[in-house]
A and B are shown apart, each in its own frame.
Chain A
Amino acid sequence: MAPDLYSFHVTWFKVVLALFGLVILVILLAPVLGSVPVSYNLRSIRARWTSTIVAVLGIAGTVGVFVAMLSLARGFEATLVASGSPGNALVMRAGSTSEMMGGITLDSIRVLQDAPGVARDSSGSPLITQDVLGVFPVPLISTGTDANVQVRGVSPNVLDVRKFIKITQGRMFQAGLSELVVGTNATKTYQGLTVGNKIDFGGGHWQIVGVFDAGGSAFDSEVWCDSRNLNQVLQRPPNIFQSATVHLSSADAFQEFKDTVVRDPRMNVDVWREIDYYAKQSTRMTTLITYLGGIVAAIMAIGAIFGALNTMYSAVAERGREIATLRALGFPSWNVTLSFLFEALMISLLGGVIGCLAVLRLNGITTNTMNFQTFSNVAFAFRITVDLLSWGIFFALVMGILGGLLPAIRAAIRPVAVALREL
């Protein structure tokens, strides 16, 4: 989750979470600690199965929405972050907030080529790609209306710089020709981006010669060509690029590379670890989804807690005589309280599990959206991880406690005589 969200309340939040965790642990141990036997709870649940189902579903729905929205945000972030390699550095004009804004001259590229830490291929050439970026409208397969696809003009040796990218169909474009290779997601998202097809943009005809797999990163939604051809189409000066990506000899070489380049008086650039840059690119969208999802989940949680409260109160009311009898027999109040809390937790645990199972099917389903920061369309997938599911279950248990506490206390403090008299 975006770190900004909890900047003030991180410590407090952690303390509260830990407390809840402790309470949950204690309650889950209730049968061992000596609450009223679990069979009473099971029988009670069966007797009021409609109310129980309602509470379970309320919690399941809330957890489902919670996990789904967060996995959407995570998926978007993961897609972008996956675009970066730890061994690569991104260089852009100083102050650029994104590649689109950047500008690097060929002279600056030459300075980079001589900097320490730059990896070289077998023939000694530096592994650097100078990129040019554009967006072009192409109809979406899903709606038929245009979306902006990111076209990236790269250096012909780009596959040596971004080593995790592989051509899976056809071949790489030839330097200087009007040829394109398209990302795996781009093929699936836009009309006509298949090997062998010709498409028109920028007043030129382009031949699609290959498909590449970029490991589920943002690159998978892009279309690549030779940067010189793209500069022509965009009517930009031929020797100016928007960013340069450098493959470093090792991840540790980053600091030395950065220091050298930034201090060079001929250069006016920022140097990023590629991973850090892409993580930042995702923040606005991720934050938006997380905020919206958080608000929705919080509201639903309140509703779910009400549902749980309803169920638990009716449980307490219905078992009034039984409770009174138990207490008259000598079961201390806290046993009774613990028993009801245990029941509440069982119900919410079930709800949490159902909610998680229900949204599990979403994992891997792709959708696309426009990234505000780059103005282009990015395909990404729901990304449900084990820790996200654990948070979902924890969330369910917290709702269970909040919904079960008051009724459980009421069960314990109701005067025995009154309860016995009630029919």
Chain B
Amino acid sequence: MKFARIIFANLLRKKVRLLLTIGSFAVALFLFVFLGVVRDAFNRGADVASADRLIVINRTSIINSIPLSYRDKILRIPGTKAITHNNWFGGTYIEEKNFFVQFVIDPENQRQVFPEFVVPDDQWNAFLKDRVGAVCGAKLADRFHWKIGDRIPIKNNMYDAKNSAWEFNLDGIYHGKQPKDDETQFWFQWDYLEERVSQGFKGQVGWYVLRVDNPDDAPRIAKAIDAEFANSPYETKTEAESAFAAGFVKQFGNIQTLILSIGSVVFFTLLLVTGNTMAISVRERTSELAVFKAIGYSDLTILFFVLAEALTIALIGGAVGMLLAASAIPGLAIALSGLLPSIVLAPSMLLFGLAAAILTGILSGIVPGLTAMRLRVVNALRRV
């Protein structure tokens, strides 16, 4: 494009200022993306929830258990495809700050209900045969540098009064099918838990996860399950996985508002910085702009020049910001994984960032651009 030379020449007028403005842009966009990623991490549960899965918990309290005997009764309800059960283990691996999620699983049905977690068949078979076997997610293995064959000791004084370490063999590592699937879980066998807990704890599961043939059927099935166990000592509450997860997220209070507020502060400040830079740059060039107009460049063309400059800064800064995000966020994810798992940078987030950059570029160039557009040659060239 033949005007490109003019636009770039103008940008390079003051190199330091250009670099600083691009830098501000890069920083702001990096922050944008980071905030978006954190927000997604909090919402993750709801994000990956499957439309055809239901969660069954004890109606009285989520921490109360449900009997294993409910399983067959639930399966008899028409429309159910597969069912598995989980217990929350909540043990400690060496130190409290190494916290990660531990689930006691039902290996026979785990893969039918959670097809998104993929374990190579040979590892899974080894796990099935190993009473004290365990499978963990790839990100968890990375965090502690575990390999297949390692022995993982976990203490839990709730199930073990002596608080001795239960040692598990890491037989398998699972991967999620999508980048946003949670790869930080630790699984071991329900049979082993049954074996080791005292009589009072036997035969109890934490919750059921159920797959149905048809997601549209889910409300009917949920009602049927709860009706089945109403008025029993262990009443149930069944809801879609997405509703369950969303409920969890809502308990984190005003996270969204907080993130939105910070995001707005950033956006607004960025607008100010670039807008101000453009305004200064236009003010410095009044006589030059007047010459352009005298030669015959239309007002709209001048507006276009200013907008193009602003947009160029925005795009370059935005690209740098995206690059920073792409390289830094995986590292941050690992550092924060004990506190906030599943921090993932989705490509859509980068696109969103790019759009934000473009929008900011245009907005910051508008006011100075209009000033430049409305500049009258005779006023600008008036001899002092």
Contacts and interface: CB of A to CB of B under 8 A. Distances in A.
Any A–B CB pair closer than 8 Å: yes
Interface of A: 4, 50-51, 53-54, 57-58, 61, 64-65, 72, 93-97, 100-103, 134-137, 140, 143, 145-148, 201-203, 233-235, 237, 268, 283-284, 287-288, 291-292, 295-296, 299-300, 302-304, 306-307, 309-310, 313-314, 367-370, 372, 375, 377
B246 interface: yes
B247 A307 contact: no
A340 to B, nearest CB: 15
20 contacts: A94-B157, A97-B96, A103-B161, A135-B61, A135-B62, A137-B62, A146-B247, A283-B97, A287-B339, A288-B339, A291-B335, A292-B340, A300-B27, A303-B27, A306-B24, A307-B273, A309-B20, A310-B273, A367-B253, A369-B253
Given A101-B90, A288-B340, A314-B17, A201 B60 contact: yes
Given A50-B276, A100-B63, A148-B62, A61 B157 contact: no
Contact of A369 (B96, B97, B252, B340): B252
B269 A61 contact: yes
A365 to B, nearest CB: 10
Given A295-B34, A296-B262, A303 B61 contact: no
Interface residues of B, number: 59
B272 A54 contact: yes
A367 B252 CA distance: 9
Interface string B168-206: 000000000000000000000000000000001000000
A296 B90 CA distance: 31
Contacts of A201: 60-61
Given A135-B63, A306-B27, A140 B158 contact: no
Q: A96, A300, A377 — which one has the most chain B CB atoms within 10 A of its CB? A: A300
B148 interface: no
A407 B197 CA distance: 69
A370 B255 CA distance: 11
B265 A65 contact: yes
B233 to A, nearest CB: 7
A5 to B, nearest CB: 12
B112 interface: no
A310 B265 CA distance: 19
Nearest to A302: B27
B250 A143 contact: yes
A134 B272 contact: no
A-B pairs, 3 with minimum CB distance: A95-B163, A95-B157, A303-B27
B332 interface: yes
Contacts of A146: 247
Contacts of B262: 65, 296
Contacts of B253: 367-369
B16 interface: yes
Interface in B234-290: 235, 246-248, 250-255, 258, 262, 265-266, 268-270, 272-273, 276-277, 279-280
B173 to A, nearest CB: 25
A300 B266 contact: yes
Contacts of A368: 251, 253
A108 B179 CA distance: 50
A134 B60 CA distance: 10
A51 B157 contact: no
B206 to A, nearest CB: 12
Interface string B124-143: 00000000000000000000
B161 A310 contact: no
Contact of A234 (B31, B64, B272): B64
B8 interface: no
B99 A284 contact: yes
A310 B278 CA distance: 12
Given A94-B163, A310-B17, A310-B21, A57 B272 contact: yes
Nearest to A236: B200
